[in-house]
Chains A and B, each alone.
Chain A
Amino acid sequence: MPTSATRPTVRSVVFVEGVRTPFGKARPDGLYAHTRSDDLAVKAVRELLRRRSELPPARIDEVALAATTQRGDQGLTLGRSVAVLAGLPTTVPGFAIDRMCAGAMTAVTTTASAIGFGQQDVALAGGVEHMGHHPMGFDADPNPRFVSEKLVDSTALVMGATAENLHDRFPHLTKDRADAYAVASQAKYAAALAAGQISPDLVPVAIRSPELGWGLATADELARPGTTVADVAHLKTPFRPGGRITAGNASPLTDGAAVCLLADGDTVAELGLPARMRLVSFAYAGVPPEVMGIGPVPATERALANAGLSIEDIGLFEINEAFAVQVLTFLDHFAMPDDDPRVNLYGGAIAVGHPLASSGVRLMTQLARQFAEHPEVRYGLTTMCVGLGMGGTVIWENPHHADYSGHTSAPTPAASTAPTEN
């Protein structure tokens, strides 16, 4: 039996709860075409506070929100501006953070680090991306040295092209396998939705369209239930003639926000907050940008090493499905089958969508729900690939497990912190 961590941890960090907006199509006819990006984050923050009414808002020490394109309605230091817009006390600070697709994940690990180091007790962490208002890479001004000094391959900044490169590098990961994986993702999402495993994490968002008036977004918009392998077999390959990446085996352009509440274990006990996951370890790693999809492999190896765990110890995986081939690369590396039953129980980004900087917290929120459903699983991980050649992985422990390490500093926190007179 491995120990829970080989590196010293000052304090336990607990994932209390996560919510997200329904994910919408990043198009002029999408759910959020006329909704501001910062407002999406505001709705998520307020819903989180409503659900955790036992938390006095003034106890929040930090609001860290990620976005990949930090301008317009995603600008103005999102963490702070959303805190103000959401009605948090002015004493609550906040900041904006960016690691592209791993923005929300980085918001979590950064605030968790401050909590673990004992400098803060409670944090909101998450991300938002309105890819309809902010198309990927729009207005970016890449340094010409990237090209002149061949710092990165010419395909490195086009994510679909990097996925094609993965197919090149691992010829046995064929388009057929990618399509089959993608179709399975759609089916798993549809089954999870029907089983009521998706909706509980959603915060309804009022949406307005000049043509339709006000409405309410209550469900994800992008999933295509009933998709078959035949349906996706002959879709266009926009990144390369005769390529393998299609709209069927990649995540769609998406608008959405996800936010979670983190706290140190003693505060969780003091306020009577639920403990859904305990953070065990995390890691980020760099890989050649032209095969950025392989990023989760070294990141996971490092996170496992940090935790003193091996891949066999992980009972549940939430891996972001930017592209099916990128998931297959991960599974192939760890000698896991394409349809490993521990992976993405509720389907993934191919079905639900991938609003870049918010996806990390969606993975965690779903893993937390799966932990409750699977008390026999002790450890799970969330992992994702990141543009410009990176990967990020966070390993979590399941409080429902019989051997749970616990998250309070005292053995009987209730007795030590609560007066007993009445």
Chain B
Amino acid sequence: MTTTRPDAPVERVTHTLVRDVVLPSGGILALLTLDNGLDHTKPTTLGPLGLAELESALIEVSRRAGHGEITAAAVTGKPYFLAAGADLTAASAVTTRAAARELGEAGHRAYRLLAEMAVPTFAFVNGVALGGGLELALACTYRTISSDVPAVALPETSLGLVPGWGGSYLLPRIVGIERAIDVILTRPAANKPYQAAEAFQIGLADALLDAADFLEESIVWADAVARGEIVVDRPPLAPAQVWQATVAAARERVDAVVHGSRPAPYRALDLLAAARDTDMTTAFAAEDEALADLIMSDEMRASIYAFHLVTAGKRPTGAPDAALARPVTRVGIVGAGLMAAQLALLFAQRLGVPVVMRDLDAERVEHGLASVAATVDKLVATGRMGAGTGAQLVASIHGTTQIEDLAGCDFVIEAVTEVLSLKKRVFAELEGIVSPTTILATNTSALSVTEMAAGLAHPERVVGLHFFNPVAQMPLVEVVDAATDDATLATAFAVAKKLRKTAVRVADRPGFVVNRLLVLLLGEIVGAVEDGTPVEVADRALRPLGLPMGPFALFDLVGPAVGLHVLTSLREDLGDRFPASPGLERIVAEKIPVVLAAAGRGLPADVDPALQAVFEPAPGTSPDRPQVVLDEAGVLDRVLTSLTTEIGLMLTEGVVAGPSQIDLCMILGAGWPFSAGGITPYLDRTGYSERVLGRRLLPDGVANVPALTGRAG
């Protein structure tokens, strides 16, 4: 029986090195180092071979412990890493349920030796400890952490998995159920790992030691613990009732966001609920079962696909040779509105160059500069930026009403009102002022960049750089190629990289990727409502997709006026697939509230049922079109069919290099879930791509459990 695909990648094996250390009191500490033999750019991960090596090393250390040859054992890692977790590539290459289960069992076999050794065991968390790396530390009796550790986390539930090497059982017993839920569910959903001090504060580590002599002092600390001079206090387990109520409350919060769209968070909650009153053997077996089920799930495979996509996205597909990029030493921004001010701050901060913001009247300029200053003040006040850096940034951003002041800029980006003629005029005016090689970029979200460049003496230096709101947080930039030359494109990609954004090259087609699909989705939802489907049904219909919020909440976030503007613009360019909606026009015209207040922080808002009235035909009139009242499944089908068609068209038009680039855009630009792999893995696994386009979008097995392998295992 083969357990992995023949083309499965070769494991980068992490070795376990063991060395004896003499403790201050004279005893012997067996010190294990996890090291893959590579530098800090190649994090240590644990695959089957590495785990087997760890297990055999621990068997020998356990034997010595049993014979009284050692006083204690400890695990640490190569510089900067304890371990960055399980080898995900290996996990997503598994083809049978039995092999998936074995992955969990192998981890448990090794880690259990640490948990049940005859001497105390210690994890010296010297660096990043993620997933299985942190679980290794949790299996030890005690943990020290170095003050410089940047990331400690159990991100499994965001990758379609559960902490399945003991973490789901051990963590709540160490830090308490409430904190365990934060670590296993809340933080992964927010993609926010713990730093050292915080990890110590919540009990993930028993001692926080200075990085300058972390290992030396960890050994001293371990010796003191082994001798009983230091006693570590851990909170008692919460009463069963409190424990279960805490899990139940967490389950409600998860359900309010996830709506059953992916299994991993629920499986994690099941394990956490059971952790209080079960033994290690039973709990570890339950983790094995959960891992086996999840590794053989399409949601997990899509998540790993998405994870790799996002990681690989840092090196853009189809970017010209980076050596062609021109230096950017001074940036001009046309406009001083909300978007312009955000761009000014980002460019000044990340490029470290002077930025000039230009608007027509002095009041608008002042307002833009004040907005920058206010943002900086807030960052400084909350400690996220040093006062010196803040002062430097504010000083490096200037405002002007004179477009001539942009003359020395080698990169100018416009962020004026979305009106083509206005933007054309801006570029034409700029061309008379700046040098012939100055890059002219536009932050348009839906207008044609090619038309914007038409008529210029040097249209080849015009490029689209479509940022998303809020600019500081959203990681995506669509780089729009509109007969743009390679030097300009290369500069755009280089700038995006310095801005720490993931750049995706897109063709100059209306709405590019993210807006085209998001607005199409919104259009289908309001279309369904205009056709007679109740707003509440339409609002719930997309829940199986696992989007970050419902369609009306998205509409509210985008702003109804902007949404309507883009919808109208796309209808003009792409046709009636982007429907007209009298109800939408009324909402915008009369500023009618769209959603109710969210039930709590971080929870999505539901549509305001009163909105239904907007879409009701006026009394005594007959509706413009025949009424088709859909149920949730019907609305979902309508949206998915439409998305599939549109993606087919986008690929034919060459909007992006391939389906994966669409997924990357939707994940980073719209927050579409890993469990759907963005969108195309979801359309493949639900059969939409075959049904609508007659073909899969991604090859079988790339982002799903391949069809011909033992799904039933």
CB of B361 closer than 8 Å to a CB of A: no
CB of A419 closer than 8 Å to a CB of B: no
A211 and B17 contact, CB distance less than 8 A: yes
Q: Which residue of A lies closest to B15 (CB)?
A: A213
Subset of 12 A-B contacts with CB under 8 Å? A46-B213, A47-B213, A203-B216, A206-B219, A211-B17, A212-B19, A213-B19, A214-B17, A214-B76, A215-B31, A216-B21, A216-B216
B212 and A87 contact, CB distance less than 8 A: yes
> Which residues of chain B are within 8 angstroms of A205 by Cβ–Cβ distance?
216
CB of B154 closer than 8 Å to a CB of A: no
With the chains together, A85 CA to B214 CA distance in Å? 13
With the chains together, A212 CA to B21 CA distance in Å? 12
Chain B nearest Cβ from A247, distance in angstroms: 28
> Per-position contact with A for B78-107: 1 when CB-CB < 8 Å, else 0?
110000000000000000000000000000
A214 and B215 contact, CB distance less than 8 A: yes
B33 and A214 contact, CB distance less than 8 A: yes
> Per-position contact with B for A371-394: 1 when CB-CB < 8 Å, else 0?
000000000000000000000000
- Which applies to chain A's interface (DSSP): helix, strand, loop or mixed? mixed
A213 and B35 contact, CB distance less than 8 A: yes
CB of B37 closer than 8 Å to a CB of A: yes
For B219, give its contact among A85, A203, A204, A212 (CB under 8 Å): A204
B216 and A43 contact, CB distance less than 8 A: yes
Most-contacted residue by chain B among A47, A212, A213, A214 (CB, 10 A): A214
> Which residues of chain A are within 8 angstroms of B76 by Cβ–Cβ distance?
214
CB of A233 closer than 8 Å to a CB of B: no
CB of A42 closer than 8 Å to a CB of B: yes
CB of B22 closer than 8 Å to a CB of A: yes
> Which residues of chain A are within 8 angstroms of B275 by Cβ–Cβ distance?
none
Chain A's interface size range is 20 to 34
Known: A42-B212, A42-B213. A213 touches B22 (CB 8 A): no
> Which residues of chain A are within 8 angstroms of B210 by Cβ–Cβ distance?
46, 87
Q: Which residue of B lies closest to A85 (CB)?
A: B212
CB of A218 closer than 8 Å to a CB of B: yes
Q: Which residues of B contact A (CB under 8 A)?
A: 17-22, 24, 31-33, 35, 37, 76, 78-79, 210, 212-216, 219
CB of A157 closer than 8 Å to a CB of B: no
Most-contacted residue by chain A among B19, B24, B79 (CB, 10 A): B19
> Which residues of chain A are within 8 angstroms of B215 by Cβ–Cβ distance?
206, 214, 216
A206-B213, A213-B35, A215-B19 known; 8 new pairs, CB 8 Å cut-off, are A46-B212, A85-B212, A204-B24, A214-B17, A215-B31, A216-B21, A216-B31, A216-B215
With the chains together, A205 CA to B22 CA distance in Å? 12
- By Cβ-Cβ distance, the 9 closest A-B pairs, closest first, are A213-B33, A213-B17, A206-B215, A216-B21, A215-B19, A214-B33, A206-B216, A212-B19, A46-B213
Chain B nearest Cβ from A78, distance in angstroms: 15
Chain B nearest Cβ from A228, distance in angstroms: 28
CB of A311 closer than 8 Å to a CB of B: no
CB of A336 closer than 8 Å to a CB of B: no
Q: Considering the complex, which residues of chain A in the window 308-367 have a beta carbon less than 8 Å from any beta carbon of chain B?
A: none
Q: Considering the complex, which residues of chain A in the window 85-135 have a beta carbon less than 8 Å from any beta carbon of chain B?
A: 85-87
> Which residues of chain B are within 8 angstroms of A208 by Cβ–Cβ distance?
33, 78-79
Q: Which residue of A lies closest to B18 (CB)?
A: A213
With the chains together, A210 CA to B36 CA distance in Å? 9
Chain A nearest Cβ from B45, distance in angstroms: 17
B37 and A210 contact, CB distance less than 8 A: yes
A214 and B31 contact, CB distance less than 8 A: yes
Chain A nearest Cβ from B147, distance in angstroms: 10
Q: Which residue of A lies closest to B211 (CB)?
A: A87
For A213, give its contact among B24, B31, B212, B213 (CB under 8 Å): B31
Chain A nearest Cβ from B14, distance in angstroms: 12
Chain B nearest Cβ from A89, distance in angstroms: 14
For B216, give its contact among A86, A204, A212 (CB under 8 Å): A204
Q: Considering the complex, which residues of chain A in the window 189-226 have a beta carbon less than 8 Å from any beta carbon of chain B?
A: 203-206, 208, 210-216, 218
Chain A nearest Cβ from B124, distance in angstroms: 8
Most-contacted residue by chain A among B22, B37, B79, B213 (CB, 10 A): B213
> Which residues of chain A are within 8 angstroms of B212 by Cβ–Cβ distance?
42, 46, 85-87
With the chains together, A216 CA to B29 CA distance in Å? 10
> Per-position contact with B for A23-48: 1 when CB-CB < 8 Å, else 0?
00000000000000000001100110
